[in-house]
Every structure is written in C-alpha cells, then in structure tokens.
C-alpha cells in the first residue's frame, strides 16, 4: 500500500471535481504514465484482468477452437468458454511451465482461430516460436500477461508482443490498483475497437460502434495505481533480492525452480517451488500453515481437469499437484524468510 496521506491528497481532488468514473482525468493520467513507464504502444485501463481477456477475444472476433495452456489461473480458460470458444489444451514445458511450442502444431485444426498463452509467474513464453507457428497458420495470438508487470523479452516490454496482451492489476499483483487490469495493443485499428468495446460500444455520446461491455475503471482505482507506479523500481528490486535469498537458504532442499526464459527481464513477482511429490508438497504446506505461514497451491488444479472442459495434459497435472508459491511481498524480512526455510527443512526431514 502507498502512503495513506498521498492517497488522501488524490482523493481530495476527486471529491473536488466530483468526477468518479467514465474516463476521468486520473484514469487518463495513469494510462499515459503506464505507457511511458512500460514503453508500450497503447494501454487501456479496464476493470479487471478477466474483462481484459474477454475484450481481447471480442476485439479479435475469435470463434471455434483456441489453443491454450492448462497451467494458468481459471480466468484464462473460463473467459474462452464465456465467449463461446472451445479451449484446446496443449501441455506445458516442465521447466518453464509455459505452453510447449513443440506441441502446438499437432493441436491445430481447421477450426482453430487463435493461441491464448500465459506467461506463467511473469516468465515469458517462447514468443518467437509461438509467433512463427501463428504466422504460418494464420492464427491470432493473445498473451495472458497477468503476472508480467515490468517483465521484458528481448529488450522490450512483454506487453508489446502478440496481437493483444492483457494484464491484471488485482491487489495480489506486483503492481496493483486494488481491482483492475489492462489491454495492450499495437495496431491502431484494433486499439480503436478496444476503446469502443470497454465502454458499451460508445462512439460519442449518442452513437455506438457495435456491441460493447462495461469494462471501465474508476478514479479511485486509478489514484491507487498512480501512487504505486512511483514505487515500482524499488518493489521489483526488493522482490529480486528476496527471491535470491530464498534460493540461497533453500539450496539444501530437494526443490526445483522454474527455468527463466530471460533472467535479465524477469520481475520476480512470485516464488514458486516444485516438490518431489504431491505428498511432500502437502506435508510442507500443512507444516507452514500450522505455524501461521500461508503458501498457495498456485496453480492448482490443472485447468484441463475442470468440469466444463476436456483435455489430456499429464505434465501440467503433475506439476500442479506438487507446486507451492512461498510467501513473497514487499515487507517480507530476511528473518521471516529464515523462518519459512526452517519449517521447510523440518517438514522435509519428517516426511
């Protein structure tokens, strides 16, 4: 959370203007600041990351089958189903945890319209390989980049890749606006379409350009984002230090870590660890929780196991059963990390 006094100053301005939503001045300022900070072509602030994906699907007019990953948050799959598309799962790379490009082409059919891939834990996909496949088969590409604030791929923001990239600015994210998200688009015509889609299709006060939805966000949320953006360099650097310290103190344990696509462009938003077995992961989780330390089974379950979809993804199923994300947040101290480490060592010895 930013300093409350600074937030109150921005709230006073909102109260004085009596302008709460509908493309207010703070929303516009946040979009401009994000564009400059991230060095992206276009950014559109929306109400949450799920709406961002749904707007992306509508903007690209996707139909039929969409190839996607089973190792992501449920919104990646549910948004496709919600918009009438059929998710077709391609299993993940066991090291990066991202969709495996080597398995994509065999899943393409005459009904395939796009690829929706997740940059898992802020670790970029093999973007070049995915784009090569998409170009060959005439497919659109959406990246669920919910975890990717500050992440770069080959020297550019990861949000600059694909036809559309989306982000979540939920309170659990590295950069947050309490609730919120964003749509990133390079193409001007597509950008105009996104503008209409997030505001009921409005093309002026009394005109409409097709069907739209209420995807707008408020001045109150934008104020939180404007303040948090000021602290992002310090936040990312602190996360990096915390992640490196975890790796140092946990090196005696039988744990695996994700393989980074590009270490120099990673944002260290999460600290996932993969245990030898589900039994070990669950025993460690219980040990930590019994001592008021709360890791998360993230992502669990594998999305291909949801009741409203089908898919055969043994690697994702296996990884999701034995992965935990350890606590990592700005105020986390080395002493608290040491405590997490000690309980993990004890649980592994006991198990």
Residues 207 and 320 in one domain: no
* Residue that is last in its domain, among 192, 215, 230: 230
Tens of pLDDT, residue by residue over 64-91, are 999 999 999 999 999 999 999 999 999 9
CATH of the domain at 335: 3.90.1150.10
Residues 122 and 264 in one domain: no
| Residue at token pair 């080597």 | 102
Residues 246 and 335 in one domain: yes
Residue 291 has pLDDT above 80, yes or no: yes
Residues 197 and 67 in one domain: yes
Residues 43 and 140 in one domain: yes
Q: Considering only CA atoms, which of 339, 328, 317, 324 is closest in space to residue 258?
A: 324
Q: What is the mean pLDDT of residues 306-310?
A: 96
Residues 136 and 72 in one domain: yes
87: β partners: 66
Checking DSSP bridges between strand 181-185 and strand 112-118, what pairing results, if any?
A: unpaired
Q: State the DSSP H helix or E strand holding residue 143, giving kind and residue range, or none if neither.
A: strand 140-144
Tens of pLDDT, residue by residue over 164-190, are 999 999 999 999 999 999 999 999 999
**Separation CA 164–CA 60 (nearest Å):** 9
CATH of the domain at 191: 3.40.640.10
Q: What is the mean pLDDT of residues 141-159?
A: 97
Residue 267 has pLDDT above 90, yes or no: yes
**Separation CA 268–CA 223 (nearest Å):** 25
Residue 351 has pLDDT above 80, yes or no: no
What total number of domains does the chain contain?
A: 2
Band the pLDDT of 350: cuts 50, 70, 90.
confident
* Residue that is last in its domain, among 196, 230, 264: 230
Residues 217 and 310 in one domain: no
Band the pLDDT of 100: cuts 50, 70, 90.
very high
DSSP H helical ranges for the chain: 4-17, 25-38, 49-59, 74-82, 127-137, 188-197, 219-230, 232-249, 278-290, 314-321, 334-350
CB 117 within 8 A of CB 88: no
Tally the residues of the chain. Answer: 351
43: β partners: 184
* Residue that is last in its domain, among 230, 264, 290: 230
Say what the pLDDT of residue 21 is. Answer: 96
CB 68 within 8 A of CB 209: no
Q: Considering only CA atoms, which of 327, 318, 326 is closest in space to residue 92?
A: 318
Residues 53 and 190 in one domain: yes
Q: How far is CA 235 from CA 30, 180, 195, 263, in A?
A: 18, 19, 31, 17
Residues 117 and 66 in one domain: yes
Residues 72 and 186 in one domain: yes
Residues 47 and 22 in one domain: yes
Domain that holds residue 10: 4-230
Residues 168 and 97 in one domain: yes
> Burial code of 89-110, b = ≥16 C-beta within 10 A, e = fewer?
bbbbbeebbbbbbebbeeebee
Alpha-carbon dihedral of residues 74, 79, 82, 88, nearest 10 degrees?
A: -80
Residue 108 has pLDDT above 90, yes or no: yes
């Amino acid at each position: 959370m930013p300093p409350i006094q600074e937030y109150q100053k921005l709230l006073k301005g909102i109260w004085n203007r009596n302008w709460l939503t509908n493309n207010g001045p703070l929303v516009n300022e946040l979009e401009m600041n994000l564009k400059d900070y991230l060095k992206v072509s276009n950014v559109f602030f929306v109400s949450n990351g799920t709406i961002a994906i749904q707007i992306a699907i509508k903007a690209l007019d996707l139909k039929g089958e969409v190839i996607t990953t089973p190792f992501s948050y449920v919104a990646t799959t549910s948004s496709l189903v919600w918009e009438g598309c059929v998710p077709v799962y391609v299993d993940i790379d066991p090291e990066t945890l991202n969709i495996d490009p080597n398995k994509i082409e065999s899943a393409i059919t005459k009904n395939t319209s796009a690829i929706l891939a997740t940059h898992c834990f802020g670790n970029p996909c093999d973007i070049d390989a995915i784009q090569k496949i998409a170009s060959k088969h005439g497919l659109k590409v959406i990246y669920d980049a919910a975890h990717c604030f500050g992440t770069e791929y080959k020297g550019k923001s990861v949000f600059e890749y694909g036809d559309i990239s989306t982000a979540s600015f939920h309170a659990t994210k590295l950069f947050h606006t309490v609730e919120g998200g964003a749509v990133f688009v390079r193409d001007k015509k597509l950008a105009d379409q996104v503008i209409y889609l997030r505001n009921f299709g409005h093309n002026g006060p009394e005109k409409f350009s097709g069907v739209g939805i209420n995807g707008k966000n408020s001045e109150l949320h934008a104020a939180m984002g404007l303040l948090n953006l000021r602290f992002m360099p310090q936040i990312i650097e602190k996360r990096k230090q915390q992640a490196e310290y975890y790796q140092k103190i946990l090196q005696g344990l039988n744990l695996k870590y994700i393989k980074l696509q590009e270490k120099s462009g990673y944002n260290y938003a999460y600290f996932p660890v993969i245990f030898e077995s589900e039994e070990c992961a669950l025993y460690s989780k219980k040990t930590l929780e019994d001592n008021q330390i709360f890791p998360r089974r993230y992502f669990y379950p594998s999305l291909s196991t949801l009741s409203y979809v089908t898919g055969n993804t043994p690697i994702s199923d296996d990884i999701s059963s034995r992965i935990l994300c350890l606590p990592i947040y700005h105020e986390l101290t080395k002493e608290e990390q040491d405590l997490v480490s000690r309980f993990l060592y004890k649980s592994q010895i006991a198990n």
